[in-house]
Amino acid sequence: MKIVMITDHLRGGGKERRMVELMKAISDTYTGYKFLIIMMYGKDESDIAYKYILDYHIPIIYLGGQNRTTQMKNLYSICKSEKVDLVHFWAPIIYGYCLTPIRLFLHIPMISSSITSARKQGGNKFWMCKPTYHLFDKILSNSYQALKINEVPKRKAICIYNGYNPERSFIKTQAEEIRKRYNIKTTHIVSMAGEYSYRKDYPLFVKAANRVLEQNSDVTFLAMGSGDSIPYEELIAPNCKDRIRFVGRVTDVESVYNASDVVALATTVEGVSNAIMEGMALGKPIVSTKGPFVGTLEVVEDGISGFLTEYHDDKVFAEYILRLLSDSELRQQMGERGKRIVEEKFSIEQMIGEFVKVYDMYNSKNS
């Protein structure tokens, strides 16, 4: 069975890593599946963050720099000449229109994994995205909340939770070295990973940190991510600037989590968060936001493996952090429960098996 994986790039991100780990695991475990990667924005290997996929010698076609009409023609020609059995689309769903000729003339089954966030695709232009649903046989997401918010028809909707690869829990840098790297003198560390953008609620994170430090000065808050952190740093109270740090992009997030007492995620839109899953896999209690555009309730058991707050409620967010920092036994209990949840509900084997079930729906050799 030949499957073409269409994505915009593989520079990095939860969806992109999921796609790469899927191909890697299926190639290692199953026979009878061949993959072809088409990158709509990528131009060469520099657009691939997960270089290990190159070891699998999966053909990669780069369509970056082409206009949309040319991309549409090339997608059609490639699928026809390669005798593709299934199209698996990972690019932003608005670009699904490029698949129209494939649907109309080649009649190749198509599935989408474009929806990963529990917010409406395209925002105010959601009405432009929704018609693309007609092109796909099935629409997959890693969150039931994302499928609901995006109004995916039930007959097409399938939720496949992220599979956590235990290899990601490998600690590259020990806790003592993390403390030296960031010159941390406090007893406790609270960390958060996520891009510095409106999608993450860094104002909440900073305001809650200010509140915590008013009552417990023995804590350092680390915010890891890429983007412009200046608007958020301006919210740090003058007497807290040495204990609330925006440290930029970090390549060993799992090592920072391992050195932390609490893993936090303040966010306004999210599916099932990889950042939360990494923290839970390392046995750390979670403090995060919940809401109609966040799928956190599907992974964190509120009050059991962590605490969940409403949007923008920095007072309660701070109270939960203070409660955890003051109770080492509670941190351990919640951390252990979170680790079990990841092992039982979010294994890489579970994720791969669910994807294979979907693929086999369209595998003529199994018919």
Q: Find out if CATH 3.40.50.2000 is the number for domain 2-163+347-366.
A: yes
Q: Decide if 2-163+347-366 and 166-345 have a common fold.
A: yes
Mean of pLDDT values over 27-50 = 93
pLDDT value at position 322? 98
Question: What is the mean predicted confidence (pLDDT) over 302-329?
Answer: 96
Domain boundaries, the chain: 2-163+347-366, 166-345
The per-residue pLDDT for 189 is 98
Predicted local confidence at residue 242, as pLDDT: 96
In the block, residue with structure tokens 């807290």? 240
What value does the mean pLDDT take over residues 152-163?
94
What is the mean predicted confidence (pLDDT) over 195-214?
A: 95
Mean pLDDT for the stretch of residues 70-95? 96
Percent of the chain with pLDDT over 70: 99
Q: Within a 10 A sphere around the Cβ of 58, how many other Cβ atoms?
A: 16
pLDDT at 268: 85
Which of the four pLDDT bands, split at 50, 70 and 90, describes residue 137?
very high
Residue 354: Cβ within 10 Å count: 16
Q: For residue 300, give the 3-state DSSP assignment.
A: coil
**What rounded mean pLDDT belongs to the chain?**
93
C-alpha span between 143 and 270 (Å, rounded) = 9
**Confidence category of residue 279, pLDDT binned at 50, 70, 90:** very high
Q: What pLDDT shows up at residue 293?
A: 65
DSSP codes of every residue in 116-167: -SSS-TTGGGHHHHGGGGGG-SEEEES-HHHHHHTT--TTTEEE-PPPBPGG
User: Hey, what are 267's tokens?
Assistant: 């966010």
pTM (2 d.p.): 0.82
pLDDT mean over 226-243: 96
Looking at domain 166-345, which of 3.40.50.300, 3.40.50.2000, 3.10.20.90, 2.60.40.1220 is its CATH number? 3.40.50.2000
Q: In what order do the strands lie in the sheet with 60-62?
A: 60-62, 34-39, 2-7, 86-89, 110-112, 138-141, 157-159
Q: What is the pLDDT of residue 182?
A: 97
What distance in Å separates the CA atoms of residue 266 and residue 190, rounded to the nearest whole number?
Answer: 12
Task: Please say if the pLDDT value at position 366 is more than 60.
Answer: no
pLDDT of residue 365: 58
* 287 has a pLDDT exceeding 80: yes
- Pick from 299, 260, 301, 302: nearest CA to 282: 260
Do the beta carbons of residue 184 and residue 221 sit within 8 Å?
no
**With pLDDT > 90 as the criterion, what percentage of the chain qualifies?**
79
